[in-house]
Amino acid sequence: MGKNKYTTRLKKFARRNDLKLEYENVLERPVIMRAVINGQRFPDGEGQNAEKAKQNAAQNALKSLNEKENLIVEVRWCMCLYMEHVSQICCSILNNDVISEKSVFLSDEEKRFKCISVNSNSQFDYVEELGKGAFGRVVKVKDKLVEKYYAIKIIRWNEKALREPMVLSDLEHPNIIRYFSCWTEYSGYQSDSTDESCSTQSFTGSPKKYLYIQMELCDTRTLLDWIEDWYTKKSNSKRREESLTIAQQMVGGIEYIHSKKLIHRDLKPANILFGQDTKVKIGDFGLVTAENDDDDKSPIKRTEEKGTPSYMAPEQKGKNYGRKVDIFALGLIYFELLWKISSCYEKSKVDIRKQELPQEFASTFISEYITIRSMLSMNPEDRPEASKVITDLEECAKQINAEEIARRGRATV
Ligand code: ATP
Ligand code: MG
Highest mean pLDDT among 20-29, 204-213, 243-252, 296-305: 243-252
The two domains 110-216 and 220-412 share their CATH topology (first three levels equal): no
Interval between CA 276 and ligand 1 midpoint (Å): 16
Cα(173)–Cα(37) distance, rounded to whole angstroms?
Answer: 47
Alpha helices in 187-313, H assignment, sequence order: 223-232, 239-259, 302-306
Q: Which atom of ligand 1 is nearest to the CA of 177?
A: 27
Ligand 1 pocket test, pick from 127, 182, 271, 287 with the greatest ligand atom count within 8 Å of Cβ, gives 271
Q: Please, are residues 148 and 175 in contact by the beta-carbon 8 Å criterion?
A: no
Q: What is the mean pLDDT of residues 72-100?
A: 33
- The pLDDT confidence band at residue 64, using thresholds 50, 70 and 90, is confident
Residue 86: is it exposed, middle or buried by C-beta count within 10 angstroms (0-12/13-18/19+)?
A: exposed
Ligand nearest the Cα of residue 286 is: 1
Q: Which residues contact 260 (CB under 8 A, 6 or more apart)?
A: 170, 171
For ligand 1, is residue 271 a contact (CB within 6 Å)? yes
Q: What is the mean pLDDT of residues 223-250?
A: 88
- pLDDT tens-digit series, residues 320-378: 899 999 999 999 999 999 998 776 666 677 788 888 999 999 999 999 999 999 999 99
Q: Please, are residues 204 and 69 in contact by the beta-carbon 8 Å criterion?
A: no
Q: Taking 90 as the threshold, does the pLDDT of residue 15 lie above it?
A: no
- pLDDT tens-digit series, residues 394-408: 999 998 888 888 888
Cα(117)–Cα(98) distance, rounded to whole angstroms?
Answer: 15
Q: Please state the domain extents for the chain.
A: 2-67, 110-216, 220-412
Q: Taking 50 as the threshold, does the pLDDT of residue 118 lie above it?
A: no
Residue whose C-alpha is closest to residue 159's, from 19, 24, 286, 262: 286
For ligand 1, is residue 135 a contact (CB within 6 Å)? yes
Residue 10: is it exposed, middle or buried by C-beta count within 10 angstroms (0-12/13-18/19+)?
A: buried
What top-level class would CATH report for the domain 2-67? alpha beta
- The pLDDT confidence band at residue 80, using thresholds 50, 70 and 90, is very low
Alpha helices in 82-162, H assignment, sequence order: 108-114
Range 170-183 burial, b when 16+ CB lie within 10 A, else e: ebebebbbbbbbbb
Does residue 30 have a cis bond before it (omega within 30 degrees)? yes
Q: Taking 80 as the threshold, does the pLDDT of residue 302 lie above it?
A: no
The CATH topology of domain 110-216 is Phosphorylase Kinase; domain 1 (3.30.200)
Q: What is the dihedral of CA 31, 32, 36, 41, to 10 degrees?
A: -170
Cα(410)–Cα(209) distance, rounded to whole angstroms?
Answer: 65
Q: Name the active-site residue from 18, 170, 266, 284.
A: 266
Q: Quick check: helix, strand or coil at residue 81?
A: strand
Residue whose C-alpha is closest to residue 168's, from 155, 332, 359: 155
The closest residue, in CA terms, to atom 11 on ligand 1 is 284
Cα(200)–Cα(109) distance, rounded to whole angstroms?
Answer: 11
Cα(196)–Cα(302) distance, rounded to whole angstroms?
Answer: 12
Q: Which atom of ligand 1 is nearest to the CA of 155?
A: 6
Q: Which atom of ligand 1 is nearest to the CA of 217?
A: 28
For ligand 1, is residue 218 a contact (CB within 6 Å)? yes
Residue 105: predicted pLDDT: 52
Residue 188: predicted pLDDT: 42
Give domain 220-412's CATH number out of 1.10.1060.10, 1.10.510.10, 3.90.1150.10, 3.30.470.10.
Answer: 1.10.510.10
Would you call 296 a catalytic residue per the annotation?
no
Q: Please, are residues 10 and 27 in contact by the beta-carbon 8 Å criterion?
A: no
For ligand 1, is residue 331 a contact (CB within 6 Å)? no
The closest residue, in CA terms, to atom 18 on ligand 1 is 270
Cα(75)–Cα(149) distance, rounded to whole angstroms?
Answer: 27
Q: Which residues contact 86 (CB under 8 A, 6 or more apart)?
A: none
Interval between CA 270 and ligand 1 midpoint (Å): 7
Q: Is 153 annotated as a binding residue?
A: yes
